Chain A
Amino acid sequence: MKKVIEIVDVIDTAEVYTELSDAKSGDICVFVGAVREFTNNEEVVALEFETYKTMALKEMEKIADSALEKWSLNKVVMRHAVGEKGVEKPVVIVGASSAHRDACFEACRYLIDTLKETVPIWKKEKFKNKSVWISAHP
């Protein structure tokens, strides 16, 4: 299968190599987003992700399709986690494989940047005494 598009409870980062590798791909590029312990010197306890799943999957499909059009890619993976995730846990993984590295490097950057702009997923930062929806307010 050329594309893997999923929203899951838990991301297993070990799966992605098998999903992206194939005989025609000399190069594989993967981006993983994880939970960072500090935001502006404040300790983060966890991130909580919520999604409008039917729409999020549609938007992720569009991004993957447009990457497959823009670059010569063999396989594309886009997977986002939902629910509460603690520090160091993976929350998003995107990747692409291609014959040569320029295509998969550029595609990988495009996949994550566009996901952050258009896919209906929301992140709440949970601190010890408060929680904040990210990017909601100026």
Chain B
Amino acid sequence: MNVLFFGITKDIVGSSEISFSDEFKPLNVAELKKQLIESYPEFSKLNSLAVAVNSEYADDSVPLIGNEEIAVIPPVSGG
């Protein structure tokens, strides 16, 4: 399972993409956020942390199978 990172989350992780092995694969969006905050405590300091699944905002309850396009969306600041 691959996860894409943008903006400040890309800087925190040090990469624009991370692979999760099957052993550590989160089962839903909430679990992904929890794992990220555990691995990168700086994530908890952000104003917000959203996740997109197949380029749509996804609630915490959305399940993750592994073949989706998953992206971490830090606070947006366009315009």
Contact = CB atoms under 8 A, between A and B. Distances in A.
Question: What is the size category of the interface that chain A forms with chain B?
Answer: 20 to 34
- Counting chain B CB atoms within 10 Å of each CB, the highest count among A112, A120, A133, A138 belongs to A120
Interface string B1-16: 0001011100100000
Interface residues of B, number: 20
B52 interface: yes
Contacts of B75: 135-136
Nearest to B71: A52
24 contacts: A49-B78, A50-B7, A52-B55, A52-B71, A55-B52, A55-B56, A58-B56, A116-B78, A116-B79, A118-B57, A118-B76, A119-B76, A120-B73, A120-B78, A121-B76, A121-B77, A121-B78, A124-B7, A133-B11, A135-B47, A136-B7, A136-B47, A136-B75, A137-B46
